[in-house]
């Protein structure tokens, strides 16, 4: 009898611990938003646009090469945090999806992974490489190196946002159908997904300026979805009953 009671207490404690860590994993969504906003602020302070000349890009990137390294470090934080958040979102939405909409859960996961990988390649890999090594070479020897790599970051992130649109639309549809999160949040995600898809026709501003405008609006809506969904789940009360203390009593 005592062994059965001990085993039951262990199961309840394990369930409580798992639930607690599951809820804390949603804090990664908040970390993602904070790190990404900080990265955007630092990137904006560099003061370059896609229409600047190769010579100006090479000179400015060399001048602000330390900031490029900071961007890469902040991006490493947001990339890791988003993967944790994405897993939590997938588990939440796939658990409430009907059989007819279950395939949307796969789109959330696959689209989100490709989205963050391409952003990470751009912001961590290329930006970090330019800041650490290639900015000096581009400024002193070949402006085309800095010019090409700088525009490549926009192109990679634009492609990533196209896949991110699949994640956002699928998540929005699952939220609306299940009601697990506020329905307005689902509609915001769908709108974000549509804009992120449409920006691809302008390659995030590289081909046409409307791409950058749509990308900024869509990305802002997507950040709202991530932040609000994380806060809502974190504020929910723990649903696992406090059975361990009652059993011990």
**DSSP assignment string, 47-90:** ---TTS-HHHHHHHHHHTHHHHHHHHHHHHHHHHHHHHHHHHHH
Q: With a cut of 70, say whether residue 99 has pLDDT above it.
A: no
DSSP 237: P
Displacement of CA 213 from its chain's centroid (Å)? 19
For 53-62, what is the mean pLDDT? Answer: 92
CA distance 70 to 43: 9
Please give the residue that has the higher pLDDT: either 97 or 225: 225
Q: CB within 8 A of 84, min separation 6: which ones?
A: 25, 28
If pLDDT is split at 50, 70 and 90, which confidence band does 246 have? very low
Average pLDDT over residues 84-104: 84
Closest by CA position to 119, among listed 87, 163, 60: 163
Residue 43, pLDDT > 60, answer yes
Q: What is the pLDDT of residue 248?
A: 46
pLDDT band at 5 (very low <50, low <70, confident <90, very high): very low
How confident is the model at residue 215, as a pLDDT? 96
Whether 2 shows a pLDDT value over 50: the answer reads no
Mean pLDDT of the chain: 86
Distance in angstroms (rounded) separating the CA atoms of residues 177 and 93: 10
DSSP structure class, residue 249: -
Rounded CA separation 172/33 (Å) = 18
Q: How far apart are CA 49 and CA 30, in angstroms?
A: 28
| Confidence label for 247 from pLDDT (cuts 50, 70 and 90) | very low
Tell me which DSSP letter residue 154 carries: H
pLDDT tops 90 at residue 82: yes
In the chain, what percentage of residues exceed pLDDT 70? 85
Is the pLDDT assigned to residue 234 strictly greater than 70? yes
The length of the chain, given as a count of residues: 249
Res. 14 pLDDT band, cuts 50 70 90: very low
> Using one digit for the tens of pLDDT, what is the confidence trace for 213-222?
999 999 999 9
Residue 239 has pLDDT above 60, yes or no: no
**Bigger pLDDT: 33 or 7?**
33
pLDDT on residue 50: 87
Q: Is the pLDDT of residue 8 over 70?
A: no
């Amino acid at each position: 009898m005592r062994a059965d009671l001990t085993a039951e207490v262990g199961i309840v404690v394990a369930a409580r611990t798992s639930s607690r860590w599951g809820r804390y994993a949603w804090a990664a969504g908040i970390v993602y938003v904070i790190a990404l906003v900080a990265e955007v602020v630092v990137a904006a302070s560099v003061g370059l646009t896609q229409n600047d000349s190769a010579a100006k890009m090479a000179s400015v990137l060399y001048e602000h090469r330390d900031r490029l390294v900071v961007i890469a470090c902040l991006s490493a934080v947001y990339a890791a945090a988003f993967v944790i958040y994405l897993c939590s979102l997938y588990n939440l939405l796939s658990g409430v999806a009907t059989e007819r909409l279950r395939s949307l859960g796969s789109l959330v996961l696959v689209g989100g992974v490709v989205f963050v990988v391409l952003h990470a390649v751009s912001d961590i890999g290329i930006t970090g490489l330019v800041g650490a090594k290639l900015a000096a070479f581009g400024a002193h020897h070949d402006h085309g190196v800095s010019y090409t790599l700088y525009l490549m970051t926009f192109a990679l992130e634009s492609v990533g946002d196209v896949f991110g649109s699949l994640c956002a639309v699928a998540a929005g549809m699952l939220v609306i159908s299940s009601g697990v999160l506020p329905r307005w949040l689902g509609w915001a995600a769908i709108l974000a997904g549509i804009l992120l898809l449409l920006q691809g026709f302008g390659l995030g501003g590289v081909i046409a300026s409307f791409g950058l405008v749509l990308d900024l609006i869509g990305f802002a809506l997507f950040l709202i979805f991530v932040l609000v969904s994380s806060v809502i789940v974190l504020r929910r009360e723990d649903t696992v009953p406090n059975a361990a203390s009652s059993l011990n009593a």
